[in-house]
Structure 1
Amino acid sequence: MSERTYKFDVKMTCGGCSGAITRALNKAKDNKEVSSFDVSLEKQEVVVKSGLGYEDILEKIKKTGKEVRSGVTVE
């Protein structure tokens, strides 16, 4: 399975918001589901590199309770 990069516009209002997403994606990284990610509170952006599909990554972010406003596959 080839890796893809996904970019999500996520509503984050504080460090707690970005921290929740970071913890969720760190867990996925530990499980080898995600190879790398970047959470930017300033840009309201989450970039994830993974072999999983778009919907799988979207679900992991949504489980944190944060609003995902949009998302695209970069590669």
Structure 2
Amino acid sequence: MSPKHYHFNVTMACSGCSNAVNRVLTKLPGVQNVDISLEKQTVDVTSDLDYDTVLQAISKTGKKVNSGTIVSA
């Protein structure tokens, strides 16, 4: 199964916010890469997991996910 690439727009106020999102995503089994831009308010994830699993993990940090797309599946 080839990894999928997801792109999320997430409201993050500080580096603590982006670190919380990074921590929760890197702990998920099946996540290969996480790229977070605090400046652009974006989170890019490469993972074997489905979209909803990744979305729920980000949401559990308490950060608002404004939008999300599947870049490649």
TM tier relative to shorter chain: over 0.9
Q: CA deviation at 1:55?
A: 0.5
- Structure that is richer in helix per residue: 1
Q: Are 1:50 and 2:47 counterparts? A: yes
RMSD value, Cα? 0.8
State the TM-score, normalizing by the size of structure 2.
0.93
Q: Secondary structure in 2 aligned to 1:37?
A: strand
1: distance between equivalents of 2:61 and 2:11?
11
What does residue range 1-75 of structure 1 map to in structure 2 within 5 Å? 1-28=1-28, 31=29, 33-75=30-72
Which deviates the most, 5-14 or 19-28?
19-28
Gaps of 5+ in 2: none
Normalized per residue, which structure has more strand? 2
Percentage identity across paired residues of the two chains: 50
TM-score normalised by L of structure 1: 0.91
